[in-house]
């Protein structure tokens, strides 16, 4: 069969894999290939055990794989063949040199641009999918055109807004698709070619266009605004705990104002995930680079409150459990950074586990999907840590349960049975406010939610 468009994606990660699977699924007339430097990851994409857990992903991969969706490591062949190349290699925070701990590490991005230049034999549209500092497309253009080989590369920015756990739904029914291009005839032509891809399933009014720089910046700003809401509500949760106000009631009253809306107002143990912290630090770094110190300080505050919230969980545990955690068994309910994913990158549970070990607590970690990642995250930490899939077994004999992830399954456990098997006094720290606190209290637990008055049996 002759395919209408040949699309390549470099980087088979959380973003590249699902996004390409959706394009292949919605556009059987296109050939979509995903390449990666990591052969083990590609082998997993070609197996029954996909490298990432995302509800609905397996079904769409199975429908298209081998028909118009292919996963392999032939980067050279892929570049030669494709008309449109999405780049979705990772762009972590720099761990060395200038900008260490703040700026984006663009080494994979740079290397990928050079690979494209080396192997390309015809004109290409290059689409930035990774989240990047504003003006990266310019660097990309400079690398691609440095050898002046007569090939025309048009760089577009098309940031991905999917959230993990709802990635497939977000891809299928996005709030918006943003395409940034140069306003030159070739830029606009490339833009239209990418619009054509998304128009196969996304309504035209949700496909928006802008210049390249606005598009690059919009992704950073969208993540910064989302994270800011969480830090805002979490900062108020601390005040609620001092004043007997209830954060759920406050969030409800605030969120009913239609100008504010009710989403992203759940107080928690802090935000995690691969994007929020990295992108805000990147934004802060950019602002400092341009001499905008006040703006940089403003956004830095969002990250500072998030660190504060995680530390507050530990200090609350310490003060309520009689100022010592040494030798106490604490069961973490959930390790993923949010429900419905196995991803633990920047999960608050990682920081909280490390702090609990510093306090010489014993840890039992349970999670329906993320135990393998948890083991890798805590691999180098010396301490008493065990990993138990069954929450009943995990909490058996523990002094406290601390809810880290809002897994639906935790709401429906038999807490009477759990209470009977735990050491007394038994504590529950509900870091996601998902449990029925009154029932837990009636069972006998001492209950410590986030941003609400605790329910304790102590006189
Ligand atoms: C992506 C974006 O790249 C990041 O900027 C954004 O903020 C979040 O989404 P993600 O898909 O989560 O990152 O990253 P990851 O799961 O680490 O996948 C990146 C893949 O690229 C890996 O499989 C890696 O092996 C591959 N890669 C990396 C290459 O194929 N070539 C390289 O040179 C470097
Ligand atoms: C985020 C953005 O939502 C997405 O648009 C972007 O493409 C990538 O980054 P993701 O990190 O996958 O997606 O998950 P998200 O649902 O945004 O949650 C991030 C973190 O915030 C999680 O740890 C989550 O538990 C936490 N959170 C979210 C809260 O603590 N409270 C809330 O009300 C919402």
Which atom from ligand 2 is nearest to the alpha carbon of 405?
Answer: 25
> How far is ligand 1, taken at its centre, from the CA of residue 279, in Å?
15
Distance (Å) from CA 448 to ligand 2 centroid: 23
CA angle 270, 273, 274 (to 5 degrees): 140
Band (pLDDT 50/70/90 cuts) for residue 171 is very high
Ligand 1 pocket, mutate which of 8, 9, 10, 11 (most atoms under 8 A from CB): 11
Mean pLDDT throughout 399-426? 98
Query: For residue 145, what pLDDT is reported?
Result: 86
Residue 381's pLDDT is what? 95
**Is 324 close to ligand 1, i.e. is its CB under 6 Å away?**
no
277 Cα–ligand 2 center, Å:
11
Count Cα neighbours of 101 within 13 Å in the Cβ-side half-sphere.
2
Residue 1 predicted with pLDDT over 80: no
For the residues 192-207, what does the mean pLDDT come to? 98
Whose alpha carbon is nearest atom 13 of ligand 2?
163
pLDDT at residue 404, as a whole number = 98
Q: Is the CB of 107 under 6 A from ligand 1?
A: no
Ligand 1, atom 25: nearest CA belongs to which residue? 38
Instruction: Please determine, for residue 3, whether its predicted confidence score (pLDDT) is greater than 90.
Output: no
Q: What tokens appear for 307 in the block?
A: 């660190």
CA-based angle 125:129:135, to the nearest 5? 80
- For the Cβ of 187 lying below 6 angstroms from any atom of ligand 1, the answer is no
- The per-residue pLDDT for 149 is 79
- Grade residue 130 by pLDDT with cuts at 50, 70 and 90: confident
**Residue 153 CA, ligand 2 centroid: distance in Å:** 34
Residue 134, pLDDT > 80, answer no
| Arithmetic mean of pLDDT, 209-220 | 94
Report the distance separating Cα 216 and Cα 131, nearest Å.
Answer: 7
> What is the number of the ligand 2 atom nearest to the C-alpha of 263?
33
Mean pLDDT over 227-249 rounds to 97
* Atom nearest to 11 CA in ligand 1: 21
Contact 329, 421 (CB under 8 A): no
**Cα separation of 181 and 191, whole Å?**
6
Q: Residue 148 above 80 pLDDT?
A: no
* Least distant ligand from the CA of 130: 1
Read off φ and ψ for residue 198, nearest 5 degrees.
-70, -30
For ligand 1, whether the C-beta of 34 sits within 6 Å is no
User: 65-121: per-residue pLDDT in tens?
Assistant: 999 999 999 999 999 999 999 999 988 888 888 888 887 888 888 999 999 999 999
Mean pLDDT of 284-306: 97
Residue 75: predicted pLDDT: 97
Q: What is the pTM of this model?
A: 0.93
Are residues 71 and 12 in contact, defined by beta-carbon separation less than 8 angstroms? yes
pLDDT tier for residue 426 given thresholds of 50, 70 and 90: very high
Distance 36 CA to ligand 1 centre (A): 9
Residue 33: beta bridge partners?
8, 70
pLDDT in tens, 4-50: 999 999 999 999 999 999 999 999 999 999 999 999 999 999 999 99
* 36 ligand 1 Cβ < 6 A: yes
How much is the pLDDT for 223?
A: 97
Which residues are identified as catalytic? Answer: 275
**Is the model's pLDDT at 185 over the cut of 80?**
yes
Residue 320 has pLDDT above 80, yes or no: yes
Residues 339 and 410 sit within 8 Å (Cβ to Cβ): no
How many whole angstroms from 406 Cα to the centroid of ligand 2?
A: 12
Please report the atom of ligand 1 found closest to the CA of residue 52.
16
Instruction: Tell me what pLDDT residue 57 has.
Output: 97
At 344-374, the pLDDT tens digits run 999 999 999 999 999 999 999 999 999 999 9
């Amino acid at each position: 069969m002759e395919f209408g468009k040949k699309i390549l994606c470099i980087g088979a990660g959380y973003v590249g894999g699902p996004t390409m699977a959706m394009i292949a699924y919605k556009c059987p007339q296109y050939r979509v290939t995903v390449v990666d430097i990591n052969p083990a990851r590609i082998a997993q994409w070609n197996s029954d055990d996909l490298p990432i857990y995302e509800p609905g992903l397996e079904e769409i991969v199975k429908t298209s794989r081998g028909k118009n969706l292919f996963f392999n490591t032939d980067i050279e062949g892929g570049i030669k063949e494709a008309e449109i190349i999405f780049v979705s290699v990772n762009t972590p925070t720099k761990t060395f040199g200038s900008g260490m701990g703040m700026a984006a590490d663009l080494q994979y991005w740079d290397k990928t641009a050079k690979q494209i230049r080396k192997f390309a034999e015809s004109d290409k549209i290059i689409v930035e999918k990774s989240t990047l500092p504003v003006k990266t497309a310019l660097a990309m253009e400079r690398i691609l055109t440095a050898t002046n080989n007569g090939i025309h590369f048009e760089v577009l920015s098309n940031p991905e807004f999917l959230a993990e756990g709802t990635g497939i739904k977000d891809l299928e029914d996005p709030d918006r698709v943003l395409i940034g291009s140069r306003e030159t005839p070739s830029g606009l032509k490339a833009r239209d070619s990418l619009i054509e891809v998304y128009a196969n399933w996304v309504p035209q009014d949700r496909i928006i266009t802008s210049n390249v720089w606005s598009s690059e910046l919009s992704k950073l700003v969208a993540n910064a605004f989302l994270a800011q809401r969480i830090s805002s509500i979490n900062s108020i949760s601390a005040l609620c705990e001092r004043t007997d106000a209830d954060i759920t009631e406050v969030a409800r009253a605030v969120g009913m104002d239609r100008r504010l809306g009710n989403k992203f107002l759940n107080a928690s143990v802090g935000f995690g995930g691969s994007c929020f912290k990295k992108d805000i630090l990147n934004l802060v770094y950019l602002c400092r680079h341009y001499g905008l110190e006040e703006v940089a300080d403003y956004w830095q505050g969002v990250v500072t409150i998030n660190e504060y919230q995680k530390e507050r969980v530990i200090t609350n545990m310490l003060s309520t459990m009689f100022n010592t955690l040494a030798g106490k068994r604490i069961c973490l309910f959930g390790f993923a950074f949010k429900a419905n994913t196995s991803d633990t990158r920047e999960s608050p549970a990682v920081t909280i586990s490390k702090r609990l070990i510093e306090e010489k607590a014993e840890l039992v970690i349970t999670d329906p999907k993320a135990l393998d990642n948890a083991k890798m995250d805590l691999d180098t930490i010396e301490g008493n840590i065990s990993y138990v899939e069954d929450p009943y077994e995990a909490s058996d004999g523990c002094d406290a349960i601390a809810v880290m992830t809002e897994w639906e399954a935790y709401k429906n456990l038999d807490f009477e049975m759990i209470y009977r098997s735990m050491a007394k006094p038994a504590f529950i720290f509900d870091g996601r406010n998902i449990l029925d606190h009154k029932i837990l209290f009636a069972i006998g637990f001492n209950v410590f939610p986030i941003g609400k008055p605790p329910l304790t049996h102590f006189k």
